[in-house]
Amino acid sequence: MKPPAPLNHIRSFEAAARHLSFTAAAEELGYTQAAISSHVRALEHYIGRQLFHRNPRSLKLTEMGEAFLPTLRPALDQIDHATEAIVASARNRTVVVSCPMSLAENWLAGCLAEYRRAHPEIEVVLHGTIWEDLGEQAADITLSIRREDDRLHGGIRLWDDQLTLLCAPRLLEGPQAIRETVDVLRHDWIFVLGRQEYWHSMAAALGIDSGGHDKALSTNASNIALELAATGCGLIATQRSLALTYLERGLLAEPFPGIRPPSPWTYYLFGSQLSKGSVVRNVRHWILECARSAFATPPSAV
């Protein structure tokens, strides 16, 4: 069976026939004039009939060329439309998720890894952010941390977060082990800039006076603070949602697991008004279900 003619040869003929010019067809398709002429000659050889009358300064379609051209135009249009649909489908099967770096590393990465295993046909792009601006987000789904008194309309709270006190497991061992809440005062406290109130809430819950405590380390990132605590540099008061992966890996421990005051900051999910496809809805539902199962509190809209 004879193989079909190359598509670029057919496109070259169709463009040259519309313009009645190899030069104009070359400009439209991005070829040289010689390449267009070569494509057309190859197509004529394939068909076994001449398609153009070639005059010194002009082209004219032969009877065969005039008969061939009307059947090509709708066929090429159909190919172009199908290609555009496939490209659009590929774009629509990519979901961009924006999330604060600390939550992306400590919780969302695992959630989306499970999603990819269940839906390998969907591409997920995860953007970790440090400082966010919801007005500038181009993501399909945005996870944002908000203070309780600074909630934005349209967000879905992922869970009711708690604060937890953490330290390296070795600080719970030996003669200097942390056993009573007052023992916390003997160690350095690790602060996250912008979240200093966590320690005030935790100290109040522990029933200790934080006013005279001057042993402190500070950082601008929650994950750095968690790593400092894991090395034994001191204790950290942080959101339980960020701490779970460290607790599960045995890198950190809770000296007082029964003391978990509510966090004044928690995470919300926002969807883009421009992203309403079924694939985005599917990823959104997956994230909410992961949040529900991880923290056993139903998400709610605000």
Please determine, for residue 150, whether its predicted confidence score (pLDDT) is greater than 50.
Answer: yes
Are 141 and 289 contained in the same domain?
yes
Please determine, for residue 149, whether its predicted confidence score (pLDDT) is greater than 90.
Answer: no
Are 231 and 99 contained in the same domain?
no
Per residue in 223-265, pLDDT (tens digit) is 999 999 999 999 999 999 999 999 999 999 999 999 999 999 9
pLDDT at 199: 94
Which residues are within 8 A (CB) of 302 and not within 5 positions of it... i.e. 6 or more apart? Answer: 151, 152, 153, 154, 155, 156, 157, 268
Q: What is the pTM of this model?
A: 0.65
- 274 — pLDDT class (breaks 50, 70, 90): low
Give the HSE-up count for residue 282: Cα atoms under 13 Å, Cβ half-sphere. Answer: 15
Are 72 and 106 contained in the same domain?
no
What stretches of 58-186 adopt beta strand conformation (E)? Answer: 58-61, 94-100, 123-129, 141-147, 156-157, 163-166
Q: Per the structure, how many domains does the chain have?
A: 3
- 23 — pLDDT class (breaks 50, 70, 90): very high
Per residue in 160-174, pLDDT (tens digit) is 999 999 999 999 998
Are 112 and 172 contained in the same domain?
no
Q: Look at residues 198, 208, 217, 186 and name the one whose alpha carbon lies nearest to residue 260.
A: 198
Are 109 and 60 contained in the same domain?
no
pLDDT at 17: 93
Are 193 and 244 contained in the same domain?
yes
Per residue in 40-79, pLDDT (tens digit) is 999 999 889 999 999 888 899 999 999 888 888 888 887 7
Are 101 and 176 contained in the same domain?
no
Q: Which domain holds residue 145?
A: 93-150+271-297
Are 75 and 109 contained in the same domain?
no
- Which long-range contacts does 278-285 make (Cβ < 8 Å, 24+ apart)? 279/92, 279/93, 279/95, 279/122, 280/95, 280/140, 280/141, 282/119, 282/122, 283/95, 283/97, 283/115, 283/122, 283/124, 283/140, 283/141, 284/141
Are 118 and 189 contained in the same domain?
no
pLDDT at 300: 46
Mean model confidence pLDDT for the chain: 87
> Are the C-beta atoms of residues 268 and 158 closer than 8 Å to each other?
yes
pLDDT at 91: 59
Which has more pLDDT, 299 or 193?
Answer: 193
Per residue in 102-120, pLDDT (tens digit) is 999 999 999 999 999 999 9
Tokens 């959630």 label which residue? 111
Are 32 and 170 contained in the same domain?
no
Are 180 and 110 contained in the same domain?
no
Please determine, for residue 2, whether its predicted confidence score (pLDDT) is greater than 70.
Answer: no
- Residue 49, domain member (yes or no): yes
CATH for 45: 1.10.10.10
Per residue in 189-213, pLDDT (tens digit) is 999 988 999 999 999 999 998 777 7
- 302 — pLDDT class (breaks 50, 70, 90): very low
